[in-house]
């Protein structure tokens, strides 16, 4: 992509109402633009990161055996009356009336809708288990939308739903999502810690929140340091095998959010110097809730013996848009973002220090073509801005590598390559750049 054709509206001043680094940087780097309280437009740079995150979430869901689909954002109130949640959900739900005076709503989550879809298509226990997911915008009328995309009103969520014949097999589905979540966040460079959590309005009795430790997190959390150092299951793990040993390993140590925290148990079970009392960001949340929806909504299957059995369900959410904030909180410095490679909007920023100079232009064009043909994603700064502005802009948007081409270096056919993560700079022959990045 040539920067001259791109849309990258950077902010010069730090936005006054942005309290945390990720919110400030997303606005300053032209990734998002606020269109209303807790409602954001995703500008090209932010949109690319959002898509990368979404894709990692998708790949790990697919690996775990979940099947992708797409449900609408607008739902009928009648569905929610069936489960009894229409009144219970309260003011966080955005309620809408259509021209025929039908009560509608903008979905805050999809348990009811997926239960309706499932009951229409599945008849027998032989069709189970099933895991279905979608990645779709949600709306929750949060009292205090803040911190940018971390707590938006409109936000992108991946939500998966599992259907099983009995509790033991539902537990196996829960375990698959547990492992998939550990892997998903790790692939983005985030260490997530599963913590016992309350089930809240979703209901049910088994639940873990996946928390990324961050000073600016909204949840107070308590855990054993051993969890922070635990290895993530690798990609060859057999999702159809017994995952319980992995889950046992992660749940053997104390970890709880403040709602579930028990100070006495914490002190009794965790050695003093292993006690982590910190703040964290909830990036995912998994629930097993049995027949909470299947019974009132009559989602039953014919069992192996005579009679219908309500299915055992679970739901599993990832805050896809919130993850941008969580990643920036973990990877930034004074000058800007420092994207981990798997989610970086582009891999390389190619900086032409003197656009219009024949030799700089020709070298940049050649490198741009070479890298692009190798599948490297390049943002080529071909603008006539001053060098200082170009460097600051590249640091702000935080691509993993900056390749700088200027007249002085070209006298010796050399380019400067900077690694954004550690700031290391290296001068090298132009024709070795492609191997280096
Ligand atoms: P929170 O405690 O932050 O309000 P929640 O517990 O209400 O989140 P869930 O119903 O568990 O949220 O939804 C699944 C995931 O969706 C959360 O783990 C979080 O990552 C994300 N999420 C929830 N609310 C928001 C929001 N307002 N903005 C962005 N992401 C959100
Ligand atoms: Mg909430
Ligand atoms: Mg929560
Ligand atoms: Mg939650």
- How far is it, in rounded angstroms, from Cα 93 to Cα 75? 11
Model confidence pTM above 0.95: yes
What backbone phi and psi angles, to 5 degrees, belong to 347? -85, -40
DSSP state of 62: H
Q: What's the pLDDT at 203?
A: 59
Three-class SS of residue 7? coil
Q: Is 138 in the pocket of ligand 1 (CB under 6 A)?
A: no
Question: Which stretch of DSSP H or E encloses residue 57?
Answer: helix 44-63
Nearest alpha carbon to residue 111 among 171, 159, 170, 61? 159
Peptide bond into 129 cis (omega under 30): yes
Question: Which stretch of DSSP H or E encloses residue 317?
Answer: strand 312-319
Q: At what angle do helices 320-330 and 21-28 cross, to 10 degrees?
A: 100
Q: What's the pLDDT at 306?
A: 82
Residues 6 or more apart in contact with residue 66 via CB below 8 angstroms: 131, 132, 133, 160, 176, 177, 180
Count CB atoms within 10 A of the CB of residue 318: 30
User: How far is C-alpha 118 from the chain's CA centre?
Assistant: 26
Per-residue tokens: 313: 């369900």
Nearest alpha carbon to residue 406 among 419, 417, 394? 417
Per-residue tokens: 210: 């996946």
Closest protein CA for atom 4 of ligand 1:
151
Per-residue tokens: 38: 């807790």
3-state secondary structure 337-367: ECCCHHHCCCCEEEEECCCCCHHHHHHHHHH
Distance 415 CA to ligand 3 centre (A): 48
DSSP state of 162: E
| Residue 219 · residue 285 · CB < 8 Å | no
Count CB atoms within 10 A of the CB of residue 111: 26
Distance 282 CA to ligand 1 centre (A): 7
Per-residue tokens: 258: 């403040």
| Residue 96 · residue 104 · CB < 8 Å | yes
| Residue 347 · residue 380 · CB < 8 Å | no
| Residue 322 · residue 140 · CB < 8 Å | no
Q: Is 131 in the pocket of ligand 1 (CB under 6 A)?
A: no
- How far is it, in rounded angstroms, from Cα 23 to Cα 40? 12
Distance 209 CA to ligand 4 centre (A): 6
Signed CA dihedral, 24, 26, 27, 32: sign only: negative
Distance 319 CA to ligand 1 centre (A): 6
Mutate to test the pocket of ligand 1, among 190, 319, 324, 327 (most ligand atoms within 8 A of CB): 319
Mutate to test the pocket of ligand 1, among 282, 289, 321, 326 (most ligand atoms within 8 A of CB): 282
Three-class SS of residue 413? coil
Three-class SS of residue 422? coil
- How far is it, in rounded angstroms, from Cα 433 to Cα 416? 9
- pLDDT per residue as tens, the chain (437 positions): 999 999 999 998 888 889 999 999 999 999 999 999 999 999 999 999 999 999 999 999 999 999 999 999 999 999 999 999 999 999 999 999 999 999 999 999 999 999 999 999 999 999 999 999 999 999 999 999 999 999 999 999 999 999 999 999 999 999 999 999 999 999 999 999 999 887 766 656 689 999 999 999 999 999 999 999 999 999 999 999 999 999 999 999 999 999 999 999 999 999 999 999 999 999 999 999 999 999 999 999 999 998 999 999 999 999 999 999 999 999 999 999 999 999 999 999 999 999 999 999 999 999 999 999 999 999 999 999 999 999 999 999 999 999 999 999 999 999 999 999 999 999 999 999 999 99
Q: Is 348 in the pocket of ligand 1 (CB under 6 A)?
A: no
Distance 213 CA to ligand 2 centre (A): 18
- How far is it, in rounded angstroms, from Cα 195 to Cα 372? 42
Nearest alpha carbon to residue 428 among 407, 410, 116? 410
């Amino acid at each position: 992509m040539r920067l001259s054709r791109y849309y990258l509206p950077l902010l010069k001043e730090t936005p006054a109402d942005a309290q945390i680094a990720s919110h400030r940087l997303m606005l300053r780097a032209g990734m998002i633009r606020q269109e209303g309280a807790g409602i954001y437009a995703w500008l090209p740079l932010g949109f690319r990161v959002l898509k990368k995150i979404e894709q990692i979430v998708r790949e790990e869901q697919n690996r775990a055996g979940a099947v992708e689909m797409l449900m609408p954002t607008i739902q009928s109130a009648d569905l929610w009356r069936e489960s009894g949640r229409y009144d219970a959900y309260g003011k966080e739900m955005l309620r809408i009336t259509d021209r025929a005076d039908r009560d509608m709503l903008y979905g805050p989550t999809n348990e009811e809708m997926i239960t309706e879809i499932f009951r229409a298509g599945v008849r027998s226990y032989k069709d189970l288990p099933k895991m279905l997911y979608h990645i779709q915008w949600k709306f929750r009328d949060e009292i205090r939308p803040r911190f940018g995309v971390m707590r938006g009103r409109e936000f992108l969520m991946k939500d998966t739903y599992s259907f099983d014949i009995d509790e033991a097999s539902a537990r196996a589905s829960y375990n698959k999502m547990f492992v998939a979540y550990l892997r998903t966040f790790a692939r983005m460079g985030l260490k997530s810690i599963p913590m016992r959590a309350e089930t809240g309005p979703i209901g049910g009795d088994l639940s873990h929140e996946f928390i990324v430790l961050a000073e600016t997190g909204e949840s107070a959390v308590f855990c054993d340091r051993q969890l922070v150092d635990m290895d993530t299951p690798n990609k060859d793990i057999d999702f159809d095998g017994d995952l319980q040993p992995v889950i046992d390993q992660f749940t053997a140590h104390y970890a709880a959010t403040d709602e579930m925290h028990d100070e006495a148990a914490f002190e009794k079970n965790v050695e003093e110097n292993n006690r982590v009392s910190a703040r964290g960001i909830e990036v995912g949340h998994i629930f097993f809730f049995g027949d909470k929806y299947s019974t009132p909504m009559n989602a039953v299957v014919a069992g192996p013996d005579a009679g219908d059995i309500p299915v055992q369900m679970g739901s599993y959410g990832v805050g896809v848009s919130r993850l941008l904030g969580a990643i920036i909180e973990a990877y930034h410095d004074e000058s800007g973002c420092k994207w981990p490679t798997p989610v970086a909007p582009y891999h390389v920023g190619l900086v032409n220090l003197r656009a219009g100079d024949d030799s700089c232009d020709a070298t940049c064009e050649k490198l741009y073509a070479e890298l692009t043909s190798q599948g490297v994603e390049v943002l080529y700064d071909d603008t006539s801005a001053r060098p200082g502005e170009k460097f600051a802009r590249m640091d702000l948007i935080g691509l993993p590598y900056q390749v700088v081409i200027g007249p002085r270096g070209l006298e010796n056919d050399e380019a400067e390559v900077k690694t954004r993560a550690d700031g290391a700079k290296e001068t090298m022959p132009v024709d070795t750049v492609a191997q280096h990045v």
